[in-house]
Amino acid sequence: MAAAEQLPDEIADVAVEEEIASRIQASILPGEIDVEGLEIAAGMVPTEKVGGDYYDIIPVDDGCWIAIGDVAGHGLAAGLIMLMIQSTLQGLVMLSPQASPGDLICALNRVLYENIRRRMKRDEHVTFCLVRYWADGRIAFAGAHENLLVCRASGDVEVLTPSGAWLGARSDVRKVTADKTAQLFPGDAMLLFTDGVVEARDERGEQLGEEGLRQLLQRVSSGGPTAIRDGVISAVRDWAPALDDDVTVVVVRCQGIYWCG
Amino acid sequence: MVKKVLVVDDSETIRQQVRLTLAAAGYAIIEAVDGIDGLQKIRLNDDLALVISDVNMPRMDGLEMVVELQKQGYPVPILMLTTEGQVALIQRAKAAGAKGWLVKPFKPEILGTAVSKLVRLAEGR
C-alpha cells in the first residue's frame, strides 16, 4: 500500500515505529571514546525515516575496533537489527579481542542470518566493515561496505577496499570474507563513511561520488578529525538540497604509535 | 617513588608543555636542550623511567641520540615527540630502539596515555 493510501491509524503506527527506531539508532552510538594514540571524531545525520546507519568504536587494551554499517531497510526492523549488530559485536570483541575482523564478521553474520531470516522472517541485509586498529598503527579490515579513505600526512589519499559480503543474506560468508592490512603512521587520517555521503545528489541528480569525497578529504585533511568530519558533513549538506539517506562519517587521525615488543 | 622523565627538546615552549602535562600526573621532569645534553643527563640519571625526545635539534638530533643510547646499551624506553611524520624517519627510530612516536602538536591526554603506557611496559620487562 502506498503511503498516500495508508489509513490514519497505519500512518500513526509507522510514525511511532520510526520514532522508536530513531531512538534505538541514537542510543547505541558510542559517544566520546578515548583510544591511545588516536584522535577520533564521528557524526551521523539521520534522515526523517531512519536510514539504517550504524557505527561503533570499541577500545581494547592495544588499540580499538571500528565498525560502520548500513541496514538495508527502514523503521523498527532496521532499528532492531542495528541493536543486534551492536550488542553481538560488543560481545564478540569482549570474548575475542585478538580475533581477526574476518572471523568476527563471519560470527556476526551467522547471528544476523539466524535472527533476520529464520526468526524475524524478513529480508533485510547489512553492508558492514570492521577495522581492527593496533597501537603500533597497523590496521586489519574486512567486510562489504564503502571503501576506506586514508589521507596520509603527505596529503596523498589511498583507497582501501574491504573484502566480504552483505551480512544476514546468507548463512556463511567465510569464502568471500578476507582480511586485508595497512599501516597508519602519525599524522595519517582514515575516513569511514556510509553510502549517504557519496550518493548524496545535487539538484541535477548528480552524486557527490567517491572521487568528490576524495578531493574533499584532501582539502580538509589538515584540520584534524573534527574539521574533517564537519567539513564532509557540511559539504554533503551543501551538495544535496535534501538528504534521502542517513549520512555517517567516522574519522580517526593517528597521532601516535607505540611498539610494544 | 616518583618516576623521572627526561624531556629532550630545543624548544622551551615544548619542554614547558610536557613538564606541565607530566608534572600534573606526578612525574618528576628533567630537561635537556639537544641530543648531546640529553646523553649527559641520561648518564647522570640512571633511574629514568622514560626519555621523550624531539627529532630535529642542533648539535645532535634525536635519532642520533637514540642510536647512541642503543650502542651504549641504555635500557631506558624512548618516545619520539616531533612534528615529523616521514615513514623513513619513523622506521629508523623503531630500528634504533625507540618505543613510540607522537606528533606535535599533541593533546595532553594523548601524551599522558603514551607516557604511562611506555613506563608500564618498561616496568614489566
Beta strands in B9-111 (DSSP E): 28-32, 48-53, 78-82, 100-103
Q: Cβ of A200: how many Cβ atoms within 10 Å?
A: 25
Q: What is the pLDDT of residue A73?
A: 78
B103 touches chain A (CB under 8 A): yes
Residue B109, chain A, CB below 8 Å: the answer is: yes
CB contacts of A153 in chain B (<8 Å) are: 85
pLDDT of amino acid A2: 52
Among A34, A153, A256, the residue with its CB nearest the CB of B114 is A256
Torsion angle, alpha carbons of A220, A223, A228, A232, to 10: -40
A153 CB within 8 Å of a chain B CB: yes
Q: Give the per-residue pLDDT at A50.
A: 64
Interval A97-116 mean pLDDT: 97
Average pLDDT over residues A102-114: 98
The pLDDT assigned to A55 comes to 96
Percentage with pLDDT > 90 across chain A:
69
Kindly state the percentage of chain B with pLDDT values over 90. 74
Residue A8: pLDDT band with limits 50, 70, 90: low
Burial of residue A31 (number of CB atoms within 10 Å: 0-12, 13-18, 19+): exposed
pLDDT band of A6, cuts 50, 70, 90: low
Q: What is the mean pLDDT of residues A73-96?
A: 92
Whether B38 contacts B57, CB under 8 Å: no
Q: Say which DSSP state B124 is in.
A: T
Cα torsion A93, A167, A248, A217: sign: positive
Report residue B40's pLDDT band, with 50, 70 and 90 as the boundaries.
very high
Residue A73 DSSP code: S
Q: Considering the entire predicted model, what is its pTM? A: 0.86
Which site among A156, A253, A259 would you substitute to test the B interface, given the most B Cβ atoms closer than 10 Å to its Cβ?
A259
Mean pLDDT of B81-99: 90
Q: What is the mean pLDDT of residues A59-72?
A: 93
Q: Does B101 touch chain A (CB under 8 A)?
A: yes
User: pLDDT at position A7, please?
Assistant: 62
In this model, does residue A141 exceed pLDDT 80? yes
User: Please, are residues A51 and A196 in contact by the beta-carbon 8 Å criterion?
Assistant: yes
Q: Is B83 at the interface with chain A, CB within 8 A? A: no
Task: Round the average pLDDT of chain A to a whole number and report it.
Answer: 90
What is residue B75's predicted lDDT score, i.e. its pLDDT? 87
Identify the pLDDT of residue A102: 98
pLDDT of residue A52 exceeding 60 = yes
Contact A256 B121 (CB under 8 A): no
Whether the predicted pLDDT of B41 surpasses 60 = yes
The pLDDT score that the predictor gives to residue A9 is 67
- Whether A190 shows a pLDDT value over 80: the answer reads yes
pLDDT at A24 over 80: yes
Which tens digits make up the pLDDT trace of A30-42?
Answer: 878 888 889 999 9
Identify residue A178 by its one-letter amino acid code: A
A220 φ, ψ (degrees, to nearest 5): -105, 0
ipTM for this prediction: 0.75
CA pair distance A254, A133, nearest whole angstrom: 10
Say which residue, B97 or A148, is predicted with more confidence.
Answer: A148
In this structure, is the dihedral angle defined by the CA atoms of residues A208, A143, A189 and B19, taken in order, positive or negative? positive
Check: CB of residue B79 under 8 Å from CB of residue B51: yes
Distance CA A63, CA A55 (A): 17
According to DSSP, the β-strands at A247-254 and A38-45 are antiparallel
